[in-house]
Structures are given as structure tokens and as C-alpha cells.
Structure 1
Amino acid sequence: MEPHKIPRVDNVRMLDRYNSRNVCMGNLHVTSTHLCFVEHNNNKQTWILYMQITSVEKLPLTTTGSPLQIRCKTFRSVTFVIPRERDCHEVYSALLSLSKPVQVEDLYCFRYTSSDENIPKSAGWNFFDMQAEFQRMRVPNEQWSLKLLNQNYELCSSYPAILFVPATATRSILEGSAKFRSKGRLPVLTYLHKNKAAICRCSQPLSGFNARCLEDEKMLDCVLRTNGANHMVVVDTRPKINAMANRATGKGYENENFYDNIKFHFMGIENIHVMRNSLSKLIECCESRVRLISAFLNGLEVAGWLKHIKSVLDSSLFIAQAIESGVNVLVHCSDGWDRTAQVCSLASILLDPYYRTIQGYQAIIEKDWLNFGHKFSDRLGHLASDPKEISPVFTQFIDCTWQLLQQFPTAFQFNESFLLTIHDHSSSCRYGTFIGNSEKERAELKVKERTYSLWGYMANHMEEYINALYDFKAWNCVLFPNLASQNIRFWRGLFYRFEGGVHPREGIDELLLVTQNHSNSLEQHIKLLNKHHCWQCGDVFCTRCIDKHVALPGHLSQCSLPVCEPCYQKITGTASTES
């Protein structure tokens, strides 16, 4: 990556979006990895990581200089006014280059070095093991077996090397089914419930209007026969009209006349382009200077973001209910790496309490998102590539999880801060965890050897992510959320967290969390005081200097209490014998 031409610009103004009179003066520093604004008055610093910049826009000239607006993937929006237009253009050009590297080797993770010596580069990379995760679900077994057909990623380049499929599926059935599925993404197991009902995932069939594949039909029959149900459910997460349009390109969906004992359902989740536009409108609504609640609510409705969140959750609940009733479910969308990842992982979270723990949630991201080929680099815009591939698919998954956390505040081991950390670092490129579009690409890039893992960093800050209200025993069961429209909430903590204005009143669940954390802190403080402060004079001492105990005159308790050496001498009238 070429070095930037302009390292610093003086006398830059940082604007407050809601109060034009509230302007901060300072210097703007263009470093190799961050943009840093240092205020003149108090040296307060505002850091913006280049990899988290979504867009840079030069606004019309003003009498005070050239405005430059920066929007981030963390939903921060900052406007700087640079005195000279030439300096503004140089900063603008530098940010465009630094925020959108062309080569994957220029990503931040390949240069980042942790300042924490307690976190080695290897930390976190080996916490998840695909075979161990399926063994937790008691797979392999008589119905499901492990196959190594994709060990070199030849059967399907976007699938993991290890696949779990029906034990009765032969090699010819697997290979034939893969050829009949878009991108070779044949039906495979992703979750087995304790009642033996399975969630399987794949991509759309290459069926066109009338094409069929006997191997693929046999494959679905093998899936059906892994449990005792007389039918299975095939969930196409797309709107039906979209799936029908794909038939014209030789793709489409399963013809129920060719597949025995399946019940087909369309879920109506929109595609990546609709979701990208929805998020764009939501950001526009959040950045509006009109401070009327009616205008905000109207903008929120026009954006349709909450409607899409509800659609994803509705589909996930449908799958969870089918699994709970003992019926196998096969899920796909178009290519099986966006909407399929969303609903398979969320349905598993509803079904399995393990995935509501910190380790379990990280495991389901590894399994259903990273190993099964969600295109993180494309969807999050890590590199300068096709902007039409960018879409907030993973952001929606995190938002959906937060919605569940609001309805079941004691059912999750983690808190909002945990979700925000994962969301932010999925796009920061500081860690190699979310780099690349598949397990194969990450193996080729050798991210485990060359970069730090996000999970290693988070393991070292675990106390920040613990939900104080978590009660595993009370929620060791399937969750059935109420998905009425009024229960789908706008996540202020994600979309408005960088705003300095007046915020709405905290919800009771948020208040309880804060109160519980504060109470825990007070309890720890009391323990510290009981151990280290002198009960006579009140001063605080180290353990070595407060090793005397004596009953205090006039104290209600006649028990011996810890006191310092001088107080001990006054009370007992003795001198220290220590030299």
C-alpha cells in the first residue's frame, strides 16, 4: 500500500450534527491505519479505523472551508471542515485508497500487532472444532455419517472440508446431488436436535422449468429417512416470485411432483439488494436533522428495516417449530450462504440453549457462517470490489439476536456489548476471523498463522460480555418469541450509539442490567474494604500492614476486627516489636 501524501491538517473543525454552534477545533492526523482527530482544548481524540469507513463524501464548500463527511460501518457519521480545499482533496483521496485496499494482503489484520502481551497470535484459533461440535450433537451415529469427499474442497469450494450427510447416501448420490445444486452446495446436516430432527442446508436446485435429478431426489429421501416422520419440510427463504424468476436462468426450486413426501414453504425474505437499500434508508433516517419523533417513525417505516428483521425471525421460528415437532427441515435460498445462514443459525439458537452461551454463539458463527461459506469479504466490503455484493446480512443476524435478547433477557449468557464487539470487528479487519469468503480462502491465506483471532481477544475481556441476569436453569428449553410487529424494536445501541444528544429513557431490562452490574461492583468494593481498611481510623492499607486484629471499644460487635499498626498500639497500649 502506497504511503499517503498528507500526514496532518491543522485547524480542522469537527461538526455536531444537531447543534451547528457546537464545533470542535483540532488537528487531523492521517496515520497508516487510522484517521485521528485531536481537539485543541482537551486533547480528546477521535479515532476512525480506515477499514470501517463505508463512504467518504466531499460536501459543497462553505465560508469556513471544505466539509468532508465520513460514514462508518459501525454507523458513526463524522463531518470535518478542512480550511483549504486542496488539503481536503488530498485527505479525501487518501481515505478512498486506505479504506478500500485492492489486494487482500493490504488488509489491516496482516499488519496488526496486539499491544496486549497476554494475547499470543495463536489464541482463539483452535477453540472451535467442527467434528467436536457435531460430536456434541452425537453425530456421527446410525443415521448420519462423516464424509471426507470435500477434503480438498473439490466437491464444493464454499463448503467446509468435513461434511455430515445421511449414512445411506452413497458417493454417487452425493456427487450427483452436488452437480444439480447451485455452486455445488448439496444438502448437508447443520444441526441435529435431541429429538433426532435435523436442519439441513443447501442451495437452490438447477431445475429450470422441468429438469430433474434422480440423485438429488434420492438425497432428499435419505434425509427424510433419518428419523421416523412421514414427511419433511423444504424451506425456500426467498419470495416465491423471485424463485420463479430464477427458473428462467435454469435454477429455481424443487418440483413437489418429483420429490416424495416433502412439504414446500416460501418464507419471503428479500434479497441482498433490497436489504442494502433498506439499510441505506435507515441510515438516512438516523442522520436526518429533523428532530421530530413523527418524522423519525415515518422514516423508520419507509426504510423497512424492522419489517425485514421480523421476516428473518418469522422464518427462523417456523423452522424451530417444525424441528420441535420432530420433522426434518431442508433450508435454502439462492446460493445458500446468506438467508440460509441467517435462519439456520437463529433457529438453532431458539432450539439449543448451548448456542445462547458465549462459547456456543461463537461456535454457531464459526459453523453456520464461516465454515459454510458466508461471503464476509464481499458482503462487508473488505476490498475494493463490486459494490452490489455488499449487503448487511450479518448485521441483520446480530440485530435478530438482540431482538431475542430483549424478549428473553435471562436466557442468554452474553450481553449487548458482546454483540456489538462481534458486529464491529467483523468489518474492522483487525482480526483474521472474518477475512475471506470461505474456509478454503482462509486456509489459502493462512490466517491462523498470520493474524490474530477475534475470539482470542474476546476471551481476554470476558468480564465485559457477561449478562448479569443470565439464568441457565430457567431457560434450558426451546424459545418461542412473540414476533408481533410491536415487539420488534429499533436497536438504538447499534444505530445511535455515537450520538451525543438526548437519548430515550432506558428500558426496564437495560436498567436491571446496569443495576445488577453496579451491585456486583459495590459487593466487590465492600469485600475489598472489609479486608484492607482499618476499622478504627478508616484508612486503607495493604494486607501486610493491616495484619492486627482487636476488639474495638464501643463497637457493637466485640469480635476482633482488622486494624492498622498505629491504631493497634493505641488500643492495646503496646509498642511494635517489629524492627
Structure 2
Amino acid sequence: MNVLPVANISGEVLNREFTNISCLDYVPVLDVPDIGKRQQGYFTLSNFRIRFHREQIREDDASNCNPIINIPLGFIRDIRCDPRATKYEFVLITRLTMDLVFEFRQTPKTSSSSDAETKMTIKQQKDKLIKLLIDAAFPLDTSSEAKLFAYLHKKESEPDPGWKYYNGLRHEYKRILDERKSHSQFWRVEENTNYCLIDSYPEFFYVPEKAKLEDLRAVKEFRTKGRIPVLSWCHPNKGSVIARSSQPRTGVGHFYSSTADQSYIEMLRDSSLAEQLTIADARPKRNAIANMAKGGGTEAGITAKSQTGYTAEGRLTNVKFFEIDNIHVVRGSFEKLKNLLADTKCNDFHEKLEKTGWLAYIQRILFAGVAVAEKIECESQSVLVHCSDGWDRTAQIVSLAMLMLDPFYRTMEGFATLIEKEWTAFGHKFSERNGTCRQSQEKEESPIFLQFIECVWQMWIQFRHAFEFNELFLIKILDGFYSNQYGTFLYSSDKERQSHLVGDKTKSIWTDLLFDEVERRGLLNPLFNRNFSKTKGALLPSVSTRAMKLWRIYYFRHNPLYCPRYDLRALNLQLLSTVDALRQTEIQRKNQQQKMKASVQSVPTQQQGKVDSRRALNLAALSSTNVNGQPLSSPGLVDIPDAIQASGNQSSSSLNRAADMSPTRSGSTSPQFTIVNRESEMI
């Protein structure tokens, strides 16, 4: 169960070592022969992770030997002592697909209660370890960032270029609102100086050009948490936009109304150059109506005859509910999924998987993203997306729609920008959702970010050739999110991150993933074709039930009984090397062709007739062989898929078998690349 490299990382310090511990229940790795049996060994605790080693390798150095268990402390969700078991047991509830049960065992020295000077009693050792684990795994319970490992991980003199994606959002908005396009003039930047206007929004955001500061303040009073509608993305050609906000505070039966809010929505529609605006409400309609009693509400009428004032001058404002449940329902669904995946003796797995509802929620989120993308791309409408507070389901839908519409976000740099912009800058509550503080777990913890990354993976398996990164990149992001190793996912708003000096004192996850050349190469997608998105436009994945798949590589990566261990990184690197070699061969072939043509053109006219036949033979031979004289199966190896096809694609076949998620093949060992369009209705 190894999530991390074995060696210590920067800032890691060993806190304590316990020698008389057994692991009673765990999912073993391949090198452990006694599957499912008690493993005796020793337990090491640092300020970043826990390790558990078998006794037979006790004499090796703990930092170099291969432990059975090696996970960050951030993966621990809770620590419990089972009252029904012996007084020496304790359970680590993890965020993975299984939990860990440990027991302090008696030794001849500790079995004698009279020998108090030799060692602490077993119960004292257990209590000491549990206290150390709680302090290390839940540092925010003490309301002090001094114990957060992210503040210890960064070296003072170490450059940290990854923060450029966090600090470069102004450049990203300039890319979205290209000044050469006419629609850019309808939007302006509003400075959120010292976060005085909206404390959960970034330092600046874009609003309609006609909107004045007084208008924004009036709209703020009518929107939950003051999160007014602002620009997220603009279509480069059509000018239609994606905007985001929180719910309106209409109250029961639309008792309250706001002329300022209605006028602002009209400004939003005018600035987007769209005749029709769709309000995408992520919630089930029943929940939106129930929120009215709590001071929330919706722009939609309760009945077909009720009017809300959001349709004027014959131009429509439609409200569409996407029936995505709240964080509490999602948390319950994930708990069911986790319990199912930990059951190694389950016989009716697929039936029970359906009952968890996990894939159904993934399907609904993807469906909402596709619907928004279709409104923008196919109908030239603008869309305002919100849920209740606008930082969970809203972030999921907006990010997925932008990923489908804009090929930049399907590159590694673009995906980092997307997360920094729509999740960190616009106030997703990372600290509460990942359960860093135990006090917020029962009310606020929920795998919202995990859902988003899994939705991206569902798109990735349908359009492998459209993404620059592979699925290991997505797994690394999730591990960094839960590990508390990076400052990227600390706290819940830009305001909090600035007050805690996150950008100065912690390391960005993008520094390790994108600026370490060795690490980055292992995260590249060998099947990526840059020319695909330029010609095919928006990606609209299938969201039918049959298209939804369980992310086996992620959920079963610690269980060889369900997911055979393949070195995906090695397979990716092998494929990349093959592609690079084929590209180099193609470049050399084209260079020789150009030299041959140039030499023929330089021959005097009177000798031209003598070389015509020789020229034809040479060019024909050159077109059918590489620089080493070996025959080529394809004369034009331009993009990656063609190159892999020419090489026989043996490595690609192994990679696809490992992932068990390859596109449909039709009697060929070469990958078939086709667009999967969304079905007209969910099945």
C-alpha cells in the first residue's frame, strides 16, 4: 500500500518508532506472500506519513527498505479504538478504499506489570501513539498552521515556478477576452481590493461593462454569500459566455425580489451577445424550493403561471435544474462505495456498485457539463451556473464545460490554470471538503473535488487523444490534494491563503508535476494529438449509463486481487520513446526529400532529361524507406496516433490492457480514434 516514494522528502522528520505492533487487516501488495494474514512488524511515524515494515526487514534502514504500508497522514480520516475489541487495538479510517487495523502485542518484557522501569505499558504506548497521530494528521484542530507539513516542505532558497498559474489569472482572462475580438469591449475588470467587496472571490473578476460598483453592491445583497454573477469563460468566436454565481435570495414564494439583480442579469445577457440566457441550477428542484425557507431560492417560478421578472422584452431566460444532490448525499454515497471496494468477498459486485449511486452522480455531473457546453457551442446561448453557495457543484459544472469547449484546458498547463481559476480562486472550500479539520468532517467533508477529477477521467477514456496528460497526472493531483504536502489546496479562499502567506511559505503542486522534467515526461499522454482539437471543436462525451466506468486504476491500485499491477509510468515512457523515434525518422526523411528536390532543381536544363528517370526512382525509394533503408508502412507519420500505428502499437496495446478502459476495437491491434457524441437522452 505505497502511495509515496520510500525515501524521506524535504521537511520530513521521524517522530517516533514502535516495534511491537501487528497489522491485523490490510490490503496487501504483491510482494507480501501471506495475503490476508496478520503481519508483525514495526510502525514508524514522521511529521508527514506512516510506514509499517515487516519484522524480517527490521534491520534495514527504514528510509530505504520497502514498507508494506506507506501513506501520508493526510490520508487518515479518523482514528478509532474499537470498544468491542481488545484494549490494545486501534483503527485508522483512511480516505482510500480500505481501513487499517493495528494492535500492540505483548512481549516477554512488557507482560510483567512489575517491571515499570524498563518500558511503558502497552496501553500507555497505544495512547501515546494515538495522541501523536491525532496531532500530526489533524493539525488544524489546534488552529495553528505551524504544524501543517506544507509549511515545512518548501526550502527557503528553492524556486517555486508553479505559483505562476495561481498568480497568472489576469493573463488567462486576457486570453479568454482576446482584445482583437469585438465582444471583449463588453466586459470590464472589477478590482476586489483587500477582498472588501466579496471575501470568497479572487482579487479581481470580470463583470458586464455597463455594471457600476453600486449595481454590484445591490446584487451582492440579493445573492447568497454575496457571490454575484461573474464571467468564467467567453466563446472566442460567438461571444456567448459561461458565468457563475450563488443562488438568489428570493424567499418563500418569491416574496423578495430585486430589480437590481434582474437588471444585472439583463446586462449579463447583453454583454454576451446572446439573445437567450439559460440559468443552469445544479440542484434538484425540490431542494431549491426547500432552500426558500432558509432564505435562499431560485429564479424559476414554482408553477408554470408564476413570473419571476427574469424574462423581459421578449427575450427568454430559461431555468434548467440538473438534479445533482448536495455534499451530504455525496458523502454517504462515497462511504457506500468505499465499503464495497473494501469487501474482497463480494459476489454481486456490479449490483451493489449500482446501489451506491456513485456512478449515477458522476453521470449527472457530466450530463450537466455537456448540456452547458451544448448551449454555448451549438445554440450560441449564454449560461449562468449556480447551486446554493456556488463553490461546489457550480465549480464542477463550469470546469467540465470549459474543458469540453476549450482545448487549452486539456493541456497540462491549461488544466493547472483551470483548477487555480475555477476552484482555488473562486473559493472552493478545500480545507472543509477534504476533512483536514475533524471538527468539520460531519458537516462539511465531501469528495467534491474527487468527483470532478473522476469526471475528467471519464472524458479522458473516451477521448484519450485529446488530452496532453495521462491518468497518472490526475492521480498525482488527487494524492497531492489529500496529502497536505502542497499549499495549492490549503484553506478555502484567496483571502485566507494570502493571510497565511501560502504563496511565500509553501510549495505549489505544479512545481513538482510540471517543472520537474523527469516527472513531467512520465505524466505525458503518448496518444495526444494536438491537431485533433483544432479541427473537431468541442468534445461532447457520452453520458449514457453504459459509458460510465469505475476508475479501477485509482480505486484498486492497492489491491492486486482486483487490479493487476502494471507499471503505467514505464509503459508511457516506452510509448513516448517510440513516438519520438518515429517523429525523428519522419523529420530526417522529409529533410532528405527536400535536399533531393533541391539538387534536382539545380541541374542545368540540357541535362534535365537524363536525370528524370533517376529522380523518380530515388524519390520513390526515399518515400518508402527511412534513413536506415528500412521500409516504412506509412509515408506520413505526422501525429502520434499515426506513428503508433506504424510501429505496430505493441506498447499501446499493453497500456490499454492495463487501464482496461480502451476504446472499442474492430479486428485490429491499432487504436481506433473516433468522437463519441453524447446520446440524446440519459439511459
TM-score exceeds 0.5 = yes
- Separation in structure 2 between the aligned mates of residue 30 and residue 228 of structure 1, nearest angstrom: 59
Q: Give yes or no for the alignment of 1:35 onto 2:86.
A: no
Matched residues, number: 515
- Separation in structure 2 between the aligned mates of residue 456 and residue 5 of structure 1, nearest angstrom: 27
The aligned counterpart of 1:107 is: 148
Once the 2 structures are TM-superposed, how far is the Cα of residue 302 of structure 1 from its aligned partner? Answer: 1.7
2:557 to 497, 506, 523: 497
Letter of the aligned partner of 1:353 in structure 2? Answer: P
The aligned counterpart of 1:313 is: 366
Q: Give yes or no for the alignment of 1:135 onto 2:135.
A: no
| 1:217-366 to 2 correspondences below 5 Å | 217-255=262-300, 256-260=307-311, 261-292=316-347, 294=348, 296-324=349-377, 325-366=379-420
Contact 1:378–1:385 at 8 Å: present in 2 too? no
Q: Give yes or no for the alignment of 1:488 onto 2:548.
A: yes
| 1:377-526 to 2 correspondences below 5 Å | 377-387=431-441, 388-459=443-514, 460=516, 461-476=519-534, 477-503=537-563, 517-521=573-577
| C-alpha spacing 1:79/1:192, structure 2 compared with 1 (3 Å) | same
Letter of the aligned partner of 1:414 in structure 2? Answer: F
Letter of the aligned partner of 1:12 in structure 2? Answer: S
The aligned counterpart of 2:111 is: none
2:188 to 131, 134, 145: 145
Once the 2 structures are TM-superposed, how far is the Cα of residue 426 of structure 1 from its aligned partner? Answer: 1.0
Q: Give yes or no for the alignment of 1:171 onto 2:213.
A: yes
Bigger mean CA offset, 252-261 vs 312-321: 252-261
> Per the alignment, in what secondary structure is the counterpart of residue 235 of structure 1?
strand
The aligned counterpart of 2:95 is: 73
- Separation in structure 1 between the aligned mates of residue 380 and residue 298 of structure 2, nearest angstrom: 24
Contact 2:411–2:469 at 8 Å: present in 1 too? yes
Once the 2 structures are TM-superposed, how far is the Cα of residue 121 of structure 1 from its aligned partner? Answer: 4.6
- Separation in structure 2 between the aligned mates of residue 523 and residue 187 of structure 1, nearest angstrom: 45
Once the 2 structures are TM-superposed, how far is the Cα of residue 8 of structure 1 from its aligned partner? Answer: 1.9
- Separation in structure 2 between the aligned mates of residue 348 and residue 526 of structure 1, nearest angstrom: 33
| C-alpha spacing 1:155/1:519, structure 2 compared with 1 (3 Å) | closer
The aligned counterpart of 1:122 is: 160
Bigger mean CA offset, 492-501 vs 343-352: 492-501
> Per the alignment, in what secondary structure is the counterpart of residue 42 of structure 2?
strand
- Separation in structure 2 between the aligned mates of residue 9 and residue 170 of structure 1, nearest angstrom: 67
> Per the alignment, in what secondary structure is the counterpart of residue 9 of structure 1?
strand
Letter of the aligned partner of 1:41 in structure 2? Answer: Q
2:135 to 97, 103, 128: 97
Cα RMSD, aligned residues only: 2.7
- Separation in structure 2 between the aligned mates of residue 524 and residue 316 of structure 1, nearest angstrom: 35
Once the 2 structures are TM-superposed, how far is the Cα of residue 383 of structure 1 from its aligned partner? Answer: 2.2
| C-alpha spacing 1:310/1:505, structure 2 compared with 1 (3 Å) | farther
Once the 2 structures are TM-superposed, how far is the Cα of residue 386 of structure 1 from its aligned partner? Answer: 1.9
After TM superposition, the score normalised by the length of structure 1 is 0.83
The aligned counterpart of 1:370 is: 424
- Separation in structure 2 between the aligned mates of residue 171 and residue 446 of structure 1, nearest angstrom: 29
> Per the alignment, in what secondary structure is the counterpart of residue 490 of structure 1?
coil
- CA deviations on 1:251-304 (whole Å, 9 max, x unpaired) are 111145311220111110000000000101100101113242x2x222211211
Contact 2:21–2:103 at 8 Å: present in 1 too? no
Contact 1:153–1:160 at 8 Å: present in 2 too? yes
| C-alpha spacing 1:375/1:273, structure 2 compared with 1 (3 Å) | same
The aligned counterpart of 1:50 is: 73
- CA deviations on 1:418-466 (whole Å, 9 max, x unpaired) are 0011111112111111111001110111111111111111121211210
1:159 to 201, 207, 216: 201
- Separation in structure 2 between the aligned mates of residue 522 and residue 40 of structure 1, nearest angstrom: 43
| C-alpha spacing 1:523/1:177, structure 2 compared with 1 (3 Å) | closer
- Separation in structure 2 between the aligned mates of residue 38 and residue 288 of structure 1, nearest angstrom: 24
Once the 2 structures are TM-superposed, how far is the Cα of residue 62 of structure 1 from its aligned partner? Answer: 6.8
> Per the alignment, in what secondary structure is the counterpart of residue 145 of structure 1?
strand
Once the 2 structures are TM-superposed, how far is the Cα of residue 249 of structure 1 from its aligned partner? Answer: 1.6
The aligned counterpart of 1:189 is: 231
After TM superposition, the score normalised by the length of structure 2 is 0.71
Contact 1:5–1:90 at 8 Å: present in 2 too? no
Once the 2 structures are TM-superposed, how far is the Cα of residue 188 of structure 1 from its aligned partner? Answer: 0.3
Once the 2 structures are TM-superposed, how far is the Cα of residue 523 of structure 1 from its aligned partner? Answer: 8.2
Letter of the aligned partner of 1:156 in structure 2? Answer: I
Q: Give yes or no for the alignment of 1:200 onto 2:200.
A: no
Letter of the aligned partner of 1:53 in structure 2? Answer: I
Contact 2:242–2:384 at 8 Å: present in 1 too? yes
| C-alpha spacing 1:183/1:463, structure 2 compared with 1 (3 Å) | same
Contact 1:236–1:266 at 8 Å: present in 2 too? yes
Q: Give yes or no for the alignment of 1:10 onto 2:20.
A: yes
Contact 2:284–2:321 at 8 Å: present in 1 too? yes
- Separation in structure 2 between the aligned mates of residue 478 and residue 452 of structure 1, nearest angstrom: 34
> Per the alignment, in what secondary structure is the counterpart of residue 56 of structure 2?
coil
> Per the alignment, in what secondary structure is the counterpart of residue 27 of structure 1?
strand
Contact 1:60–1:67 at 8 Å: present in 2 too? no
Once the 2 structures are TM-superposed, how far is the Cα of residue 505 of structure 1 from its aligned partner? Answer: 10
- Separation in structure 1 between the aligned mates of residue 438 and residue 426 of structure 2, nearest angstrom: 24
Contact 2:97–2:341 at 8 Å: present in 1 too? no
Once the 2 structures are TM-superposed, how far is the Cα of residue 76 of structure 1 from its aligned partner? Answer: 5.2
Letter of the aligned partner of 2:393 in structure 1? Answer: R
Contact 1:50–1:98 at 8 Å: present in 2 too? yes
- Name the structure with the higher helix share: 2
Letter of the aligned partner of 1:206 in structure 2? Answer: R
Bigger mean CA offset, 401-410 vs 468-477: 468-477
> Per the alignment, in what secondary structure is the counterpart of residue 217 of structure 2?
helix
- Separation in structure 1 between the aligned mates of residue 498 and residue 572 of structure 2, nearest angstrom: 43
Once the 2 structures are TM-superposed, how far is the Cα of residue 152 of structure 1 from its aligned partner? Answer: 1.6
Contact 1:13–1:82 at 8 Å: present in 2 too? no
Letter of the aligned partner of 2:549 in structure 1? Answer: R
- Separation in structure 2 between the aligned mates of residue 170 and residue 330 of structure 1, nearest angstrom: 20
- CA deviations on 1:94-152 (whole Å, 9 max, x unpaired) are 323321122241211112246xx9x925331123411100111125721111111x222
> Which blocks of at least 5 consecutive residues in structure 1 are unaligned?
528-558, 560-579
- Separation in structure 2 between the aligned mates of residue 74 and residue 107 of structure 1, nearest angstrom: 21
- Separation in structure 2 between the aligned mates of residue 90 and residue 270 of structure 1, nearest angstrom: 41
The aligned counterpart of 2:604 is: none
- Separation in structure 1 between the aligned mates of residue 267 and residue 36 of structure 2, nearest angstrom: 69
- Separation in structure 2 between the aligned mates of residue 88 and residue 428 of structure 1, nearest angstrom: 24
The aligned counterpart of 1:576 is: none
> Which blocks of at least 5 consecutive residues in structure 2 are unaligned?
1-12, 29-33, 58-64, 107-121, 301-306, 584-627, 629-683
> Per the alignment, in what secondary structure is the counterpart of residue 155 of structure 1?
coil
> Per the alignment, in what secondary structure is the counterpart of residue 499 of structure 2?
helix
| C-alpha spacing 1:11/1:331, structure 2 compared with 1 (3 Å) | closer
- Separation in structure 2 between the aligned mates of residue 314 and residue 442 of structure 1, nearest angstrom: 33
> Per the alignment, in what secondary structure is the counterpart of residue 410 of structure 1?
helix
- Separation in structure 2 between the aligned mates of residue 225 and residue 526 of structure 1, nearest angstrom: 51
Contact 1:75–1:494 at 8 Å: present in 2 too? no
Contact 1:61–1:67 at 8 Å: present in 2 too? no
| C-alpha spacing 1:21/1:289, structure 2 compared with 1 (3 Å) | closer
Bigger mean CA offset, 129-138 vs 24-33: 24-33
